[in-house]
Chains A and B, each alone.
Chain A
Amino acid sequence: MSAHAENINYFKASKGFMSWLVTVDHKRIGLMYLASILLFFITGGVYAGLFRLELWGPLPGFISPDTYNHLFTMHGVIMVFLVVVPGIPGALGNFLLPLQLGAKDLAFPKLNITSLYLYWIGAVIALFSLTQGRADSGWTFYAPYSLSQNPAVLWMLVAAFILGFSSILTGLNFIVTIHKMRAPGMTWFRMPLFVWALYATGIMQVFATPVLGITLLLLLMENFFRIGIFDPALGGDPLLMQHFFWFYSHPAVYIIVVPAFGVVSELIATFSRKDIFGYKFIAFSSVAITIIGFLVWGHHMFVSGQSEVADTIFSFLTFFTAVPSAIKVFNWTTTLYQGSIKLTTPMLYALQFLFNFTIGGLTGIVLGILSVDIHLHDTYFVVSHFHYVAMGSTMIAFIGGIYYWWPKMTGRMFNETWGRLAAVLVFLGFNLTFFAQLIMGSQGSPRRYYNYLTEFQIYHQISTAGIVVLALGLFMALFNLLISLKNGAIAPQNPWGARTLEWTHAETPPVLYNFTETPVVTQGPYEYPTEKV
């Protein structure tokens, strides 16, 4: 490294394949996360595509029932543990958190690269399980089925355990960074909302993920040594496993979606060119969601034989989670009002997010109603609700975020026309796919079934057609970005006129230690000059 390496952009600061593998630079780590996550997003999508093709018709097609179980399990495990949970924090969070705070790096750069390696190890083990048989337990690993000593399931448990570790370390790193690494003048209420979202996410990663860890560990022990904690045949309690699992996996839904709230807040403020309406409400509602999110896990178990008292309490608390979510949606919408809105590609994703998340959130309330849930439990309605949140909200915001920060990350501008066209296709494809599932679920079509009644065929066909449109849009979005690496115009420092530090104070692409001079913050993240519009 030359004497002035810290003032060279982070791509050029050091060279060669190895310099990436041993890097501790949060920006490079973020990009490596991004590449890995997109790769698994495609993999998980291929699995979904295969079983949706099979579901074109009700009778056995080109896939056997066992393979079908295997395919949806792989889709679920990959998309949850390798894509949406690590997604936005791993890729965008890593790249942006120090930049938005005015710091040189995360608090623990070596721990950060360790998280990435754990992610890779977990991913390799998940893929290795394919050589050991067919994992078919679904991503939820419910006992006693997951106790049948299927080696592929066992390897999946190991993979998920390691991925959990990776997630804990990322969350820990982010929390410490936010507490201790803020630039002079960067008070808590001058932090961008994306940072607040990562903070809330970090708390859930640190406090909820270890419970998943012990659950997976106990499942492994039960498989190997028959310790008798979850297996009813040995005196164990399979419900305990469900309690443990959802104690993590409900907060995990917020680990998945809260970072998306953060991304969307940035996009809406920038492309409305307005201070975000209700900054503190949005910031605190992320924290509120975190706290309430720890108390509602039982709503996944209304039909599992939980006591009626527990059912009622969990249902009541579930309604409460709607309050902070609704606060956010109202504040974003109010921000749009009288803003000078620019319909750029990232903004199109932010608007899609608002639409999809409203559906995802409201269907969640529907499922939280005890009497209704008895009917909707384990139908396509649940599948659709979850995908409106995980895909329609999180992945959409993720893609919007990638587009928004792409110029900062790579130094290149993308083609707006193709970007917008892809965004529209994604919107249509996604809603075709999952609105059809919402309807057939409400009519009682059960999820995870290989076969179905012919009256549901039309919905399955719409859904399968939708996924083709969705895939077309996603690949178009991806290629548009990749092509820009070669042909895109050189990006200026602040192409969107945004007000946060990564745009106002860091070069494009940023230098090795982010800023040539430590920024001194004197105003909030969305304070635009007050000229009359």
Chain B
Amino acid sequence: MAEVTVPKEHEVAHHFDDLEQEFESHRLGMWLFIASEIMMFGALLVGGLLLLYKFPAAFAEGRAHLDWRLGTLNTFFLLTSGLTMALAAWHAQRSEQDKVRRNLLLSLAFATGFLIVKYFEYSAKFHHGLLPGNAFSGHGFTDPNAHVFFGFYFVATGLHVLHVLIGMGLMVWCLFVSRKVKFTRAYYTPVEQSGLYWALIDLVWIFLFPLLYLVA
């Protein structure tokens, strides 16, 4: 699409005194939101660890059906997209709109890669009946509680994927904003905020990945 509108300077909202106050408010708000999310995922992880402690055999058997290589690939995708999001924010501060956009698109591409891998992982589980609770029909399991592992697997990764989708939505939003508003050192809030949120998604994965794929 040809560029028809020239990006304008951002205007401070009516209730703020200046850009600085607005920027710092948004930053603090996002940190608090992330803290809140960490509490939520933290509780979920505590639940997961408790299940691991109660059913070590079920977790061992379940893990044997996850491919750590795919998990590692996804870890790579997420961490790299974290880097490109940070670069996007870095360029936004320098008003390099084109480089911001390029890095946003790269992040989107890596995030899509993550989802594609996830799609293949999920469909393999569905195919083999490796599902939660009563839907579980996996073969060759000796532990009667093997379904518990997959219950936790789907809830934890499902919630994480939901966050990935929201994070991708934020990237698309930043792309739109970058066409209308000129980022400056004083105003690059959307990119910085989305980058922070994406860092949370990375962080959660850093904990989920070993718990599900690696710990024996």
- On A, residues with C-beta under 8 Å from B are 103-109, 111, 168, 172-173, 175-177, 179-181, 206-211, 213-215, 217-218, 221, 225-229, 234-237, 240, 244, 247, 513
Contact = CB atoms under 8 A, between A and B. Distances in A.
A22 to B, nearest CB: 15
A247 B40 CA distance: 12
Contacts of A168: 36
B148 A210 contact: no
Given A179-B28, A247-B43, A225 B36 contact: no
Contact of B151 (A106, A225, A237): A225
Contact of A218 (B14, B37, B47, B135): B47
Interface in B62-97: none
Interface in B35-57: 35-37, 39-41, 43-44, 47, 50-51, 54-55
- The prevalent SS among residues of A at the interface is helix
Interface in B101-122: none
Interface in B124-169: 132-135, 144-145, 147-148, 151-152, 154-155, 159
A367 to B, nearest CB: 25
B173 interface: no
A226 B152 contact: no
Given A218-B155, A226-B132, A234 B32 contact: no
A176 B15 contact: no
B151 A227 contact: yes
Nearest to B40: A210
Nearest to A205: B36
Contact of A228 (B43, B44, B132): B132
B9 interface: no
- The prevalent SS among residues of B at the interface is helix
Contacts of B98: none
A426 B17 CA distance: 45
B35 A207 contact: yes
Contacts of B43: 210-211, 214-215, 244, 247
B147 A240 contact: no
A240 B15 contact: no
A229 B151 contact: yes
30 contacts: A107-B25, A172-B36, A175-B32, A176-B25, A176-B32, A179-B28, A180-B21, A210-B39, A210-B40, A211-B39, A211-B40, A213-B40, A214-B41, A214-B43, A225-B133, A226-B132, A227-B132, A227-B133, A227-B148, A227-B151, A228-B147, A229-B47, A229-B51, A229-B155, A234-B133, A234-B151, A235-B54, A235-B148, A237-B54, A247-B43
